[in-house]
A = this chain, B = another copy of it.
Amino acid sequence: MSRGDDTKQRIVTEAAGLFNQKGFEGGSMSALMEATGLEKGGIYRHFSSKEEIAAEAFDYALKIATEARIRDLDSLPNSVDKLKLFIANFVERRSSVPGGCPILNTAVDADDGNPVLRDRARNAFRQWLGRLESIVKAGIKAREIRPRVVPGNVATLIVSSLEGALMISRIEKDREALLSVRSFLEAYLERDVRRS
């Protein structure tokens, strides 16, 4: 990387934490200048607008969060075990970007706000739901998952309950809600999803 690329990446990394914690409106350029030690001109040499910074920051935060959530998934042959590891990763693995789940934060921040960020949050949800759906579909095909299970419903339940529990856990500053939902989902996958 050139020194310019290096500076640009540093801006994106700092912006990811800033916007993920404070939101698009709450994350100010002056806070970003302070975090990076750059003047405004030094930042805008790499980006055309605050929106462009926030969009690249979201992509970065999403990449880091996704890596944590899918970690070791490919090493498991069984589809139900994959779903359970995904849930465990979501609950146990903290991203290096502070502020919680970037999809949740950006979705709530941008559902009535910035359309570029809203599109990104929506696409991230679709990708995430699609990934879980594919695991369930493969599991049905491989006779690891009951044939009557509806892939989209399983994916929606897992994503909804984990995101909701994360929000409660973050506001309570304890893991109780996340652990409660994890344990529910694991029992559900064993009892109602796995083909016995």
Q: Which residues of A contact B (CB under 8 A)?
A: 21-26, 98-100, 104-105, 107-113, 118, 121-122, 125, 129, 152-153, 156-157, 159-165, 167-168, 170-172, 176-177, 180-181, 183-184
The contact of A26 among B24, B98, B157, B164, by CB within 8 Å, is B24
- CA–CA, A24 to B99, complex, Å? 17
Q: Are A168 and B181 in contact (CB under 8 A)?
A: no
Q: Are B181 and A160 in contact (CB under 8 A)?
A: yes
* Chain B residues whose C-beta falls within 8 Å of the C-beta of A170 in the assembled complex: 107, 111
The contact of A112 among B99, B110, B162, by CB within 8 Å, is B99
- CA–CA, A1 to B24, complex, Å? 39
In the complex with contacts A159-B164, A168-B159, A108-B109 CB distance below 8 A: yes
Closest-by-CB residue of B relative to A118 is B171
Q: Are B177 and A21 in contact (CB under 8 A)?
A: no
Closest-by-CB residue of B relative to A27 is B25
Q: How far is the CB of A102 from chain B (nearest CB, A)?
A: 11
Known: A26-B26, A160-B164, A163-B163; 4 extra A-B contacts, CB below 8 A, are A26-B109, A100-B112, A107-B170, A118-B171
